[in-house]
Amino acid sequence: MGIAFFEKDKIFKLDTPSSTYMIAIVDEEGFLGHVYYGKRVPDENLSYLMRTREAPFTPSVNNRDRASFLNTFPMEYPTHGLGDYREDCLSVLTQAGHSACGLRYVSHRIFPGKPKLEGLPATFGGEGDCTTLELLAEDPVLQLRVVLRYTAFERLDAVTRSVVLTNGSEEPLRLTKVLSACLDMDNRNFDLITLHGAWARERQIQRSPLCRGRQSAFSVCGESSHQEHPFLALAEKAATQDSGEVYAMNFVYSGNFLAQAELTQFDSVRAVMGIHPYDFCWTLAPGESFTAPEVVLVYSDSGLGGMTRTFHDLYRGHLIRGEYRDKPRPVLINNWEATYFDFNTEKLIAIARQAASLGIEMLVMDDGWFGGRSSDDCALGDWQVNENKLPGGLRRLADEVNRLGMRFGIWMEPEMISPDSDLYRAHPDWAIRIPGRTAVRSRNQYVLDFSRREVRNYIYECVRAVLKSANIDYLKWDMNRQLTDLGGIALPAGRQGELLHRYTLGVYEMQERLVTEFPHLLLENCSGGGARFDPGMLYYSPQIWCSDDTDAVERLKIQEGTALVYPLSAMGAHVSDCPNHAVGRVTPFETRGYVALAGTFGYELDVTKIPKEDRDQIPGQIALYHRYSGLMRQGDYYRVASYAENHGYDCWMVVSKDKQEALVTYIQVLGRPNAHSVRVRLNGLDESALYRVEGEGQEEQVLSGAALRCAGINVGGLWGDFRGRLIHLTAERT
C-alpha cells in the first residue's frame, strides 16, 4: 500500500487496501492523464487504458488533431479554453482578457503523512496512516504553478485530493474557476446517486440512470444548503447495499459547491467537484497562492454499504477532532420546542429539575436569552444576557442547573444581525449588502460580513465573553438564512467575487479559534436544521443538528440519507413532542426514542407537560442510550431495508468492530392487515459464530451468522402504525 512512481512507464500508483488509483505522464509535453481507478491491481503498466495508441493519438504523433486529443483524453485536471469542451476544473483570466490555460507536468514528490490545508478543514493522518503525492504542473505562458495533492490512506479505501495554485508571473491573474477534483472513466451503465431535499426534508437519496449531458447537484446559497449536498456517487446498475462497484466523491467545504457528472459523446464519464464558479472570482497577485478545499474519493467493490462504512471510519478517525470524538455525548434537553421565546429562569429551572430526576444530563437554553429578543424579529448581534428574563444572568442559571447535577449549554447565532438591534444601529455597514439596493431580509435578519477581520474579532469576543461568564459546557452554533445581495464594503470592486469564499474562510477561522480556546466545549453546528451538514463543519464540531424536522417517521428518510455518508455519532437527533411541530404527526414515545438512538440522542420538549406514561419511559430510554452508545458511535453501520423504497418499514443495524455484538432497529411505519411477519437478512456478522437473538416481543433464538445473513429472522407482532423494535445480538462464547 501507499504511493509509488514507476519511472520507466511514467506512472504513479496509489494503493489503498482494496483500491488502486493510477496517473500517467503522457507525451513529451507532459500531459497528466487518468489511467485507472478501481479494485486493487498488481504493479502493471495499464497506460493502454488511456487509448493514446489509437486516433486521434497524442500531439507529438498527430498535432493536426490536437483539439480532438484534448477533448477525448482522460485528463487528471482539465483546464479551460484549449480544446477540451467537457467540464473543466480551472479557468484563469489574464490582464489581457484571455481565459485559456494548459498544464504540463514539472516534478513530483512523495512523502509519508498528510500536510494541513491552510485555513481550511481537511482530513488528517500521520506518517503511519497515509502517504501523500504532490504533482507540480505549470502553465508556462501564464507562469501559473499548480500542485495537485493526493493522499492515499493505508487502512481505508479513501483517496483525498486538493489543489494549490501559485502565481509565478509579474502580473495579477484572476481565478474564475477552481475545482478540486476530476474523475474521468468509461461509463459502465452507471447510476448517479445524489442527496436532495428542502428545509425539514434534507438529504433524501436520489438514484437515477446517468444520462447524456451534465447532471449536477450544486449550491449557490453561500452554504452547502438544505436543497442539495456536496456528494455524488457513481454506482453500477446492479450495485446494492452489499455488492457492486461504487465511486463516491464528498466535498470538505461548507459554502457554494458544484458536484457534477457528465456522460460524453464517447461514453466516457467525467465527474468533477469543487467551489461553484457562480459569483466566484479570485485575484491572485504575483507570488500569492490559493488553496482549493479537499475532495474525498471513496471506492467500494462491496456496494453502497462498503462505501458508507469507509466514509464513517474515515470521518470518525481522520476528520472529527476533540475529546468528544471518542466519548459518549451527554443526554441533553433543549427548550426550543418546549417554550420557544416564552421562558424565564424559573421555567427553565422547573424543566431542568424534572429532567434531572429522569436522568437527563444537560439543559440547553435555546434562542431568546439575549438583548431584547422576544421574537425572531430583533436583537441578533446583541449578545448580552437579558436580565429581565434571566435575573442574575447566565451564571445564576448555570449554577442552579449545575446544582441539580446537570450541565448547561447555550444557543447562539453568531453570523447574523437583526436590523432591529443595537449592533446594526451602530454598524449597519457590517451587514452583507449592495449599496443602493434594498437589502434582502430572510427570517427578518441580515448576514454579518465575516470576510472582515474587525467583524470576526468583535463577534468572537462576544461569544468568548458569553462562554466565560458562566459554566457553559455546550454551544449550539446556528445559521438561519442563506446569503443574498452579495456586497462586501471592505472589498474593492474588482474583488467582490471573493466575498463568498472569504466568508466561509471567516466562519472556519472563528470556529478554529473557538475549539482551540475552549477545548472541552461540546460544539454542535446547525443551520436552520441541516443546511450546513457537511464534512467542513464536522472538522470543528463532532455533531451537527440533522434537521429541524424531528418527527420520527420523517427522520427515517433524513437519517438514512445522512448515514449514507456520515457516522451516526455526528447526527443530532432528539425525541420531540407530539403532535410533532413540523408535520403534526403523533407517534409512540417509544418509537421516537428508537429513531433518536441512531444519533446523538436527546430531548426537545417540556418534560413537565408531557403525559406521565411518556415521561416514565425516559429513564429506560437513557439507559438504552448508555448501554448502546459505544456500539452506535464506533460500530459498523448496515442498511437492512429502506422505508423510502418499500414505503412500509425501515431497518438498520450496527455491528461492533469485533463482531461480538449487534443492534438491529426495526420500525414498522404502516401496519398491514392479513400479513405475515417481515423477514430481514442481517449482514456484517461473523458467519462462523453463533449469536443469541433477543428483543422484547421477539422470539429468542441462537443462530449462526451465516443463517442470519442468508436466511434472516422474522419480525412480526407489531400492532399499529409507527411501531418499533430493538433486536440485540450477542456472540455465544464457545
Domain over 2-318 is classified CATH 2.70.98.60: yes
Q: Which helix (H) or strand (E) holds 399?
A: helix 393-403
Instruction: pLDDT band for 420, please (50, 70, 90 cuts).
Output: very high
- Helix-helix angle 453-468:499-517, to 10 degrees: 30
Residues 622-650, mean pLDDT to the nearest whole number:
97
The DSSP secondary structure of 27-76, one letter per residue, reads: TTTTEEEEEEEEE---S---GGGG-TTSTT--TTT-GGGHHHHHHHS-BS
Q: What pLDDT score does 329 carry? A: 96
Q: What pLDDT score does 301 carry? A: 97
Residues 199-226, mean pLDDT to the nearest whole number:
97
∠ CA 76-80-86 to the nearest 5 degrees? 65
The DSSP secondary structure of 98-129, one letter per residue, reads: ------EEEEEEEEES-PPPTTS------TTT
Closest CA relative to residue 582, chosen from 650, 544, 649, 528 = 528
pLDDT, tens digit, for every residue of 149-171?
Answer: 999 999 999 999 999 999 999 99
Q: d(Cα 159, Cα 14) in Å, to the nearest integer?
A: 8
Q: What pLDDT score does 369 carry? A: 98
In the predicted model, is pLDDT for residue 733 greater than 80? Answer: no
> Coil, strand, or helix at residue 156?
coil
List the alpha helices (DSSP H) in 552-617: 552-563, 589-596, 612-615
Q: d(Cα 47, Cα 51) in Å, to the nearest integer?
A: 8
Q: Which amino acid is at 283?
A: T
Catalytic sites, residue numbers: 478, 548
Q: d(Cα 481, Cα 619) in Å, to the nearest integer?
A: 37
Class of domain 330-634: alpha beta
Residues 496-516, mean pLDDT to the nearest whole number:
98
Residues of the chain with CATH 3.20.20.70: 330-634
Strand order in the sheet with 649-655: 636-641, 649-655, 661-668, 723-731, 690-694, 701-704
Class of domain 640-731: mainly beta
Residues of the chain with CATH 2.70.98.60: 2-318
Residues 27-52, mean pLDDT to the nearest whole number:
97
Share of the chain above pLDDT 90, in %: 99
CB atoms within 10 A of CB 356: 19
Closest CA relative to residue 561, chosen from 221, 161, 233 = 233
Residues of the chain with CATH 2.60.40.1180: 640-731
* DSSP β-ladder status, 190-196 and 204-209: antiparallel
pLDDT, tens digit, for every residue of 302-355?
Answer: 999 999 999 999 999 999 999 999 999 999 999 999 999 999 999 999 999 999
pLDDT, tens digit, for every residue of 545-565?
Answer: 999 999 999 999 999 999 999
Q: d(Cα 13, Cα 23) in Å, to the nearest integer?
A: 7
Cβ-Cβ contacts under 8 Å for 388 (sequence gap 6 or more): none
Q: What pLDDT score does 1 carry? A: 72
Q: What pLDDT score does 64 carry? A: 95
Point out which residues pair with 133 in neighbouring strands.
110, 150
Q: What pLDDT score does 734 carry? A: 61
Q: Which amino acid is at 341?
A: F
* Prediction pTM value: 0.98
Residues 623-636, mean pLDDT to the nearest whole number:
97
Residues 63-87, mean pLDDT to the nearest whole number:
96
* DSSP β-ladder status, 446-447 and 416-417: antiparallel
